[in-house]
Structure 1
Amino acid sequence: MGYDMYMVRTPDGEEERYRAARQEFDRAVEARNALDLSSGEPEYEAAQEKVSAAYDAMHEAHTSYFRLGMWNMGECRAIMGHFDMLSLTDSPPEVPSLEAYGISSDEYYEYVENTDEAPDPIRRFREAMDAYLSWAPAPVDGIAVHKLGSNEGWIVTTSEIHAALAAYEENRGKDPAFLSQLIEEASWWPQWIDYLTAAANHEGFRVY
């Protein structure tokens, strides 16, 4: 279990870079598996190193994606709260219902993959769902905390990210000892800040 985050808009050229990196990884795995050797033998270990390097390259190419495990996300919320990067939520809007748009669940799931041909009621329902998933309390002074508390497809908007990063820049210098310890213990934190910065330029991100 964990939290998978995807930018709303994929960076230009990423799909091609990721596909090429995935092909290199698959080739490295195939070459390793073709060896009639066992783990620990030099030739096998050299092939395994190529697999690991190709895997890392594939991960680095997938810049629109970021993952945190359950424990790490709990840490993340605590750290972001320390830097006033979160916004507390109290009265979110009501969840749109299929019935209100005259849609049955069978009709809706029929167009889950075939989105371009979805009829108008389904399109309007999706727009309403995106508005619900994007909602944040006003004024926007950080990322709505509920969006980092469950993986229901929440949309973290660019305005939320900008507010969170502004709060981080304002507060990071007030507790340098905490920041130093944080980076040592939560090694993913600098990458998380980089991800937020990039996501702000790509229409935010979804949380699954």
Structure 2
Amino acid sequence: MGYDMFIEAVPADEAATVRAAENAFNEAARARDTLDLPPDDAAYMAAQEAVERAFRALREVDVSYFRLNIWGMARYCEVMQQLGMVVSDYELPPFPHEPEGVPDVEIDAYGDRGEATDSPVRPEVVAYWKQLEAHLAWHPDPAFGIALHKFCSNDGWLVTPEEIAAALESYRVHSAEEVKVIVGGDAEELDYWTQWIAYLHRAQHRSGFRVW
């Protein structure tokens, strides 16, 4: 359980590299799973090591993805609050209501496929999804940081470039030593935080990122 974050606009070359890495990982996992051997067998352990290498390679190239577990997200929200990168003094508008009399499967199908669907779509379904997308992207205007509610559930919130820019502007007023003290932890934890800041910089110029 945790939070998976995906940048909205992924360059085609990066997407192709990630697909290749995913295929390599899946093939390594398939090869391991076909072995009818105990986990402590040397051949099985070698296959497991290959899976782990393929997974690390996937994570290295998939720079449009970032993950935090529940504890990690809570900690990062605390740190970002101390650094002035998130805002919470606002009232979030309610979610839009689903259109009455429309089966959930029809609403969900349009959400999954959007304008790519060839089937007739009721206007109220299209209107609902436009309202929902606007709600998921909503933030106080002007943006003084990232709206904190977007890090509190897995509803597909869109953290916008405007929010990220404001968050990074607040972050930059702190010295490296201040950040190190606030983030705390060991070198590995500080390195992961540095990766988070790099992720925000990347997402700012790629239409933001979703939180699932």
- RMSD of Structure 2 on Structure 1 (CA): 2.5
Q: Give the Cα–Cα distance (whole angstroms) in 2 for the partners of residues 137 and 32 of structure 1.
A: 49
Structure 1 runs (4+) deviating above 6 angstroms are: none
Q: Give the Cα–Cα distance (whole angstroms) in 2 for the partners of residues 138 and 149 of structure 1.
A: 20
CA contact (8 A) 1:89 1:137 kept: no
Paired residue for 2:211? 207
How many aligned residue pairs are there?
206
Paired residue for 2:162? 159
Identity, in percent, stands at 36
- Bigger CA drift: 64-73 or 30-39? 30-39
Paired residue for 1:104? 102
For residue 155 of structure 1, give the secondary structure of its aligned residue in structure 2: strand
For residue 112 of structure 2, give the secondary structure of its aligned residue in structure 1: coil
Equivalent positions of 1:191-206 (< 5 A) are: 191-206=195-210
Amino acid corresponding to residue 189 of structure 1 in structure 2: W
CA contact (8 A) 2:88 2:147 kept: yes
TM-score (norm 1): 0.85
- Bigger CA drift: 185-194 or 30-39? 30-39
CA contact (8 A) 1:11 1:64 kept: no
TM-score (norm 2): 0.83
Paired residue for 1:124? 127
Cα distance change, pair 179–35 in 1 and its aligned pair in 2 (3 A): same
Q: Which runs of 5+ in 2 are unaligned?
A: none
Q: CA deviation at 1:60?
A: 2.3
Q: Give the Cα–Cα distance (whole angstroms) in 2 for the partners of residues 35 and 132 of structure 1.
A: 48
Q: CA deviation at 1:39?
A: 4.2
Q: Which runs of 5+ in 1 are unaligned?
A: none
Paired residue for 1:28? 28
Is 1:16 the counterpart of 2:19? The answer is no
Q: CA deviation at 1:75?
A: 0.3
